[in-house]
Structure 1
Amino acid sequence: MIQTPFRHSLIGLLLLIGIGTPAPAQAELKLSGIFSDHMVLQRDQRLPVWGGADKGQTVTVTFNGQTVSTTTDDNGLWQVKLPPLQHNNKGQELFVQSSEESLIIRDVVVGDVWHASGQSNMAMTVRSVAQKIPEAKQHIADANLPAIRFRRISENEAASPQTDLPLRNGWVPCSPASAPNVSAAAFYFARKLHHELGIPIGVIDTSRGGTPIEPFIPRDAFTSHPTLKQELKLGEQEDLRGIWKLPGGVYARDANWLPGRLFHSRLAPITEFPVRGLIWYQGESNCGNREDPRDYQHKMRALITGWRKALGDDSLPVYFVQLPGSGAGPGWPYLREQQRLSSNLPHTGMVVTIDLLDKDIHPPNKIDVGDRLARWALAEEYEKPVPYSGPLFQRATIENEKITVHFSYADSGLMIAVKEGLLPPRETPDKALSHFELADASGHWFPAEAIINGKTIVVTSSQVQDPAAVRYACAIDPQHCHLYNRDGLPASPFCSKAKFFQYAPDLPVD
């Protein structure tokens, strides 16, 4: 961003000759910190441009042949709205003029902007992926993709919503030099969208490692469930231990873990900035050591509805990643189920990763993660004919000693397959399905046999004559989950009856 001032002052002359007093300093013409060189503006929506200047000043914004003017308010704030624009890969200048000052934002393109947020598995960089997956080194070398731009926001927590962002790093075009430093999940997501759509893709990355979901939920969304209400009350008192002891609470290490604190600092200043949607990868810090994953589905719903309200878009698409098995602890199976239960909100989709095997809590295969996130967006938002979801539990029917499981997203049929590295799943009909269990009426679980029958699974167990419930892949780290649809996407872990799938957390004591 280049600022070109034209002001001249007589203050020094007046002081020299001893007459008059210095006039009040004129406020500097400013733009919000989200605006910088190389930025991406959201297409097909009215585009707010805002900032500050001296009160009562006329501010004029020019972009793409359109000019809009306004007058600053008593606080010196201004905002204009540019008319909706079609996508444009060619960089242009955004020009702002007030009195004798001007600002120029260079190389501005128009396309689709996506938020990317969550914790460390969203923050994990392409460089970190390349250290374990050799193919990613070539992805970096081939990353001369100037129509993809990233904006990293990493402000510290705030007790109240902030009104602006510092400029700091600004927007960065994707190149072999910059790609290693950006979110890998977001990089592969954006790369696939750009390849399929041919338009500029912007990513605003607000993720922060090691944080639970609570600091990303807007404050006024903590009213939808008793646990959320209590967390907000304790958070306002900065009672970290109280939140930890709360059933359904979280182990809050410091203020960055408190309700709304990262939304206040990282999202609140830019809720006016139009975007196409949100991708989200988080959950580990709500089901770790002595952390309670209960009620996570209500927190996820609060995040989704809260962001939609704050950003002024009730149908904002939100696509999120279900936790894998790698690095898992006792609370992870329950949290995966909570994630599945939250995925039925409209314009919401869940990426399953239980088949991406690794030992690390930061599994390096963000290539398939980004691809699967992009599939949801391509199918749902861009109406591309691509498969985008693996089988999701729909219902279970009980007939004598067997349970038949019906799935959504199984129209292509089901198959047993093995996924090796980055290769597509390979059908292996000689293998048996594993990780299915049946529960008796008392809620005790027993291993079961599962057979594919067209688009359904028939489950039986010699130890359960009158089954009451069925579940799949509900272990801490279930190895070799081989159930896919014939589109090559994995089935989600599930439990057919919530009352038979409880979690007793190891809560702190006084």
Structure 2
Amino acid sequence: MKPLFFFLMLFFWGTLPAQQVIKVACVGNSVTAGWGLQNPGQESYPAQLQHLLGNGYAVKNFGHSGATLLKKGHNPYYRTAAFQQLLSFRPQIAIIHLGLNDTDPRNYPNYRDDFIPDYNWLIDTLKKQNPQIKIFICRLTPIFTGHSRFLSSTNEWYNDLQKKIEQVAAVRKLPLLDLNEPLHNRPDLFPDVATLHPNVEGAAMLAQTVYKHISGNFGGLQLPLAFTDNMVLQQEQPIRFWGIANAFQTVSVRFGHQLKTTRAGFNGKWQLIFSARKASTRPEIIEIKSTHRSILLKNILIGDVWLCSGQSNMYFSVRESTGGDSLIRKADSTQPLRLLKLTPFAETNNRSWTASELSKANSLDFFSGSWQPHRSEAVASFSAVGYVFAQKIQQEEKVPVGIIEIAVGGSPLISWVSRNALQNNPLFEPALNNWRQSDYIMQWCRERANVNLANAQNKLQRHPYEPAYNFEAAIEKLSPFPVKGILWYQGESDAENAALYEKLFPVFVADWRAWWRQNLPFYYVQLSSINRPSWNYFRDVQRKSLNVIPNAGMAVSSDLGDSSDVHYKNKIPVGLRLARLALTQTYHRDGLPAGPLFQTMKRINNTVEISFRYANGLHASNNKDITGFKILTNEGVFVPTQARAHQDKIYISIPRHLKAIAIAYGWEPFTRANLVNKEQLPASTFLEYFK
């Protein structure tokens, strides 16, 4: 018998059974039985669990395909031969994974109130056979959105049953074994039409999960993605350390003059929380220890942490940017500025990925990086927009600043939204199915993904353009590492469907804020100018998003765009404009946060008066006539018109022969409209109709 298991059984279960061989019963439905596997006797999760546990255990598979936990269900487990065999087996350990089939319309609507009593009946029946039995209650493995009833019923009923299972475990004081967690973000392992049954690799992950909980061996002390040397911890928020250790191991964290200890739970998870602290430029050491391992994190600062994310214009490096050479030369490691670039394992450029890259993408082991001091080599490869922002905040606020970059060239917005947010939204749930042929994803993105995945053998191969992928591979692993706020530069890969983006963007922002459990400041960049149809419409949708997303700001970049290159070179002004938003709205500095934003307009006879937010000192950027305004007529024609600024408002005269229905500004994909305020910040594109 393994020493660790011996210890765990004494600590957690009480007296060990006298037998040398411990009998383990895997109770369940088709997932347990191994439905769809070529050789369930060798490939099902109970069979693989037997291999992991070894000769000290006898693992038996008591799965019955289609079984319901409900005794009045269409195929109740207690009436099956597997159940009778289970009772005869008299196991010392039972792993109960039932409930998936109870989401069937024949079962849940009629007998939902029986689910908890019937679960308790099963537990009591097993305990009568063996009062010393140790029972694990399992959260259900996932049902993915390809299921035929997912939207109509299954998803809602499935979520309700998960809560009922958690309630059973809590009331009966039984360990809750989460079989959803290891597979909830792995649809590539569920190739069956019903999207219920994991393949061999998925069964192996279930076996590993059960093995860890039985043995207590979770691989020892491990820390989340963002915990490395040189990191910055968010000031004025509780400082939270968390991770994995072997079950019930003591974990200690020494931070400053404080030492705190805890025990990992039976699921290996642990957490320690230290009081919030003010910013400090004095480097500190954090020592995290468990029974057999010690991790020393060095050169730690406390300050403000910002996350910058998006697609290629956020990924665009300091090295590539106009003026970047000077920024790289001036990088000084004594300046309290730290950078964490989470780099994709494979670029989404125009080539087919290797087998290793495809495997990394499927396993979600796709981003890597560690905190780096403020040195030239780290600065050179970092996001130019993110770096300039961070440097400006550090210089102005005089506190350490940490900036985290997670960006993927060409990635659509939907790839950054959590699976949970998408599948619980009827408008966006269909996007999760057959995404490489879906109009939820722009054609260019689908074509590039097809190039990258040309060598893929798995028809469900993962990719960073897939809905929810970047969230699952990066953001889910990073959150809830505390941050001050979020910077976002993305939309080029969604510009062809502005109407859809308008609905998804608020969902996305709310989703991230929910994961961080904070109403985080959210500052984003409006797309630049380029000769691509629809970009003016898209910029206007981004502007309108400010009306529905609180605690947000938008930096205009239309004046910087290149007519033929989506990657215009001068990113320094964009970073500075984002910094201005943060300094005025988050740090409450005086000044204008952004360029003129349309507020209201009224028509008096043939004169239109337009009011703006941030309108102080309205004028033309080149000190010439103001250009960029147009009148939209009732015949659908945009007619250029003159505009004049007076007392921080714009006035337009409408010719008597025109029947105007709207006023537009900067209403071309590529525009050099020139309205700015006293800070030389450009006005946003807009189209507004008369009321």
The residue number in structure 2 matching 1:233 is 430
Matching of residue 301 in structure 1 with residue 506 in structure 2: yes
Equivalent in 337, 347, 350 of residue 148 of structure 1: 337
Offset of residue 372 of structure 1: 0.4
The residue number in structure 2 matching 1:63 is 255
Give yes or no for contact 2:253–2:261 (8 Å, CA) kept in 1. Answer: yes
Offset of residue 243 of structure 1: 2.8
Q: 1:302 to 1:455 in 2, by over 3 A?
A: same
Give yes or no for contact 1:438–1:460 (8 Å, CA) kept in 2. Answer: no
Distance across 1 between alignment mates of 2:366 and 2:259: 26
The residue number in structure 2 matching 1:112 is 304
**2:336 aligned counterpart, secondary structure:** strand
| Larger proportion of helix | 2
Distance across 2 between alignment mates of 1:242 and 1:262: 18
Q: 1:72 to 1:280 in 2, by over 3 A?
A: same
Distance across 2 between alignment mates of 1:38 and 1:166: 22
Q: 1:372 to 1:167 in 2, by over 3 A?
A: closer
Matching of residue 98 in structure 1 with residue 270 in structure 2: no
Offset of residue 239 of structure 1: 3.4
Greater Cα shift, 292-301 or 116-125:
292-301
Distance across 1 between alignment mates of 2:557 and 2:374: 26
The residue number in structure 2 matching 1:267 is 475
The residue number in structure 2 matching 1:364 is 569
Distance across 2 between alignment mates of 1:116 and 1:74: 36
Offset of residue 153 of structure 1: 2.0
Q: TM-score with structure 2 length normalisation?
A: 0.61
Give yes or no for contact 1:391–1:485 (8 Å, CA) kept in 2. Answer: yes
Offset of residue 400 of structure 1: 2.3
Q: TM-score with structure 1 length normalisation?
A: 0.82
Distance across 1 between alignment mates of 2:494 and 2:367: 31
Listed as ranges, the matches of 1:480-499 within 5 Å are: 481-497=673-689
Q: Deviations over 1:279-337 (max 9, x none)?
A: 001111112xxx32223222221121111111100x200000001113x4102111100
Distance across 2 between alignment mates of 1:250 and 1:312: 34
The residue number in structure 1 matching 2:276 is 84
Distance across 2 between alignment mates of 1:239 and 1:357: 31
The residue number in structure 1 matching 2:528 is 324
Matching of residue 209 in structure 1 with residue 419 in structure 2: no
Distance across 1 between alignment mates of 2:607 and 2:690: 19
The residue number in structure 2 matching 1:353 is 557
Paired residue type of 1:409: Y
Q: Deviations over 1:138-160 (max 9, x none)?
A: 2211111441111122457999x
Distance across 1 between alignment mates of 2:627 and 2:544: 22
Mind listing any 5+ residue stretches in structure 2 that lack a counterpart? 5-55, 57-214, 347-357, 450-462
Paired residue type of 1:203: I
The residue number in structure 2 matching 1:286 is 494
Paired residue type of 1:447: P
Offset of residue 356 of structure 1: 1.6
The residue number in structure 1 matching 2:85 is none
| Larger proportion of strand | 1
RMSD of equivalent CA atoms: 2.8
Offset of residue 413 of structure 1: 2.7
**1:229 aligned counterpart, secondary structure:** coil
Distance across 2 between alignment mates of 1:163 and 1:379: 41
Give yes or no for contact 1:44–1:86 (8 Å, CA) kept in 2. Answer: yes
Distance across 2 between alignment mates of 1:251 and 1:357: 22
Give yes or no for contact 2:343–2:367 (8 Å, CA) kept in 1. Answer: no
**1:103 aligned counterpart, secondary structure:** strand
Q: Deviations over 1:95-128 (max 9, x none)?
A: 1111242110111111111110000000000000
Distance across 1 between alignment mates of 2:677 and 2:273: 46
Distance across 1 between alignment mates of 2:629 and 2:539: 16
Offset of residue 257 of structure 1: 1.9
Listed as ranges, the matches of 1:160-239 within 5 Å are: 168-222=368-422, 229-235=426-432, 237-239=433-435
Distance across 2 between alignment mates of 1:316 and 1:231: 24
The residue number in structure 1 matching 2:666 is 473
Q: Deviations over 1:43-63 (max 9, x none)?
A: 111122112111011101111
Offset of residue 191 of structure 1: 0.5
Greater Cα shift, 162-171 or 183-192:
162-171
Distance across 2 between alignment mates of 1:437 and 1:184: 34
Give yes or no for contact 2:392–2:576 (8 Å, CA) kept in 1. Answer: yes
The residue number in structure 2 matching 1:136 is 324
Q: Percent identity over the alignment?
A: 30
Offset of residue 24 of structure 1: 8.9
The residue number in structure 2 matching 1:10 is none
Offset of residue 25 of structure 1: 6.7
Paired residue type of 2:236: D
**1:205 aligned counterpart, secondary structure:** strand
The residue number in structure 1 matching 2:634 is 441
Offset of residue 272 of structure 1: 1.8
Matching of residue 339 in structure 1 with residue 542 in structure 2: yes
**1:375 aligned counterpart, secondary structure:** helix
Distance across 1 between alignment mates of 2:218 and 2:431: 43
Give yes or no for contact 2:597–2:614 (8 Å, CA) kept in 1. Answer: yes
**1:355 aligned counterpart, secondary structure:** helix
Offset of residue 33 of structure 1: 2.3
Greater Cα shift, 102-111 or 460-469:
460-469
The residue number in structure 2 matching 1:257 is 465
The residue number in structure 1 matching 2:438 is 242
Distance across 2 between alignment mates of 1:136 and 1:104: 34
Matching of residue 45 in structure 1 with residue 242 in structure 2: no
Larger radius of gyration: 2
Give yes or no for contact 2:231–2:402 (8 Å, CA) kept in 1. Answer: yes
Distance across 1 between alignment mates of 2:431 and 2:594: 38
Matching of residue 416 in structure 1 with residue 612 in structure 2: no
Q: 1:304 to 1:150 in 2, by over 3 A?
A: same
Paired residue type of 1:438: I
Q: Deviations over 1:256-293 (max 9, x none)?
A: 22221111110111212110000001111112xxx322
Distance across 1 between alignment mates of 2:634 and 2:620: 29
Distance across 2 between alignment mates of 1:167 and 1:251: 20
